[in-house]
Structure 1
Amino acid sequence: MFEMVPFKKRKEDAFSQLARSFNDIFDDEWLTPFRTLTTSFKADIRETDQAYLVEAELPGFKKEEIEIDYAHPYLTIKAVHNEEANEENDGHQVIRRERRYGEYVRRFYVQDIEEEGIRAALKDGILSLEIPKSKRADRKRIEIRDGK
């Protein structure tokens, strides 16, 4: 389109052209398969006096497709979805075959928790985790002595 001043061409310096070319390379669709090999999911994290509460959005996943692991100090949630759909006509000829694969992974840094007390539930595509905090005191008051 035309600029505000009639018939004036927009001049770009070499750096602007290089930056635009660089961005165009990484915006291309040919990189899309590499970006989506491992995808993250959205999660809400709340803290109470007794526990951390995590709600992760995993719509369409069954509980058998979700793994939850704790290896001090990281809690990892991994969900793998592998789906294949086939449609055949009366002559058993394939009319349509579609496959979908997705792996979603999130790691959370948590420490001073009771590992044995972690509870998880899946309902309506929301994975809820309750991660109880350690019962030991996190803070210790240090008394100051008179210096001599």
Structure 2
Amino acid sequence: MANEITDRNNLMRNWFNNDSWMNNFPSIFDANFPESSYLKTDIKETDKDYQLKVDLPAVDKKNLDITYNNDILTIRGHRDSFDDHNDKNGDMIMSERSSGRFSRQYNLPEVDPDNVKATYDNGVLQLTLPKLKKDVDSGHHIQIS
């Protein structure tokens, strides 16, 4: 047990003395605010639609809520807690997995909300948000009087 404690202390000492400590700062910050590290997203825009891929590992699709209102797509949900986070024997030396509620909003203007398609497979949410068809203004002739 003493060697385990020494190993943990050395791990922490090396981490704090590492020259790249400041490079790790964002990940430290994310660990305290899991919602900022959730919902890693790719967004592609075409002439016809927006296409999103959102990583949501270990989230059950029944725990997701997706809305579109006033040009804002909102994805909300929660991930249940992990049973193995309870460390009765003191064996856990690091834990980065998070649980709880999350939410993220995306500004995607002029979407046809009636035709949005969503699929969820293997922890990846895919959304296709078709753009509203714009009426082409053919122009108007104005008479000068």
TM-score, reference length from structure 1: 0.59
Pick one of 59, 62, 72 that aligns with 1:61.
59
Find the aligned partners of 1:129 and 1:76 in 2 and give their Cα distance: 12
C-alpha RMSD over aligned residues: 3.6
Return the index of the structure with the highest Cα Rg: 1
Alignment match of 2:105 (pick from 104, 107, 116)? 107
Partner of 1:127: 125
Q: C-alpha distance in 2, partners of 1:48/1:144?
A: 33
Corresponding residue to 2:49 among 37, 51, 70: 51
Gaps in structure 1 of 5+ consecutive residues:
1-23, 87-94
Q: Give the drift of 1:80.
A: 0.9
1:33 to 1:127, Cα distance in 2 relative to 1, 3 A? closer
Higher helix share: 2
Match of 1:45, as an amino acid? I
Cα 1:33–1:46 change in 2 (3 A) is closer
Residues 43-83 of structure 1 show CA distances to partners (whole Å, capped at 9, x for unaligned) of: 11112222110011111111012110111121101131122
What are the ranges of 5 or more consecutive residues in structure 2 without an aligned counterpart? 1-21, 90-96
Paired letter, 2:120: L
Structure having the higher strand fraction is 1
TM-score, with structure 2 as normaliser:
0.60
Q: How many residues align?
A: 116
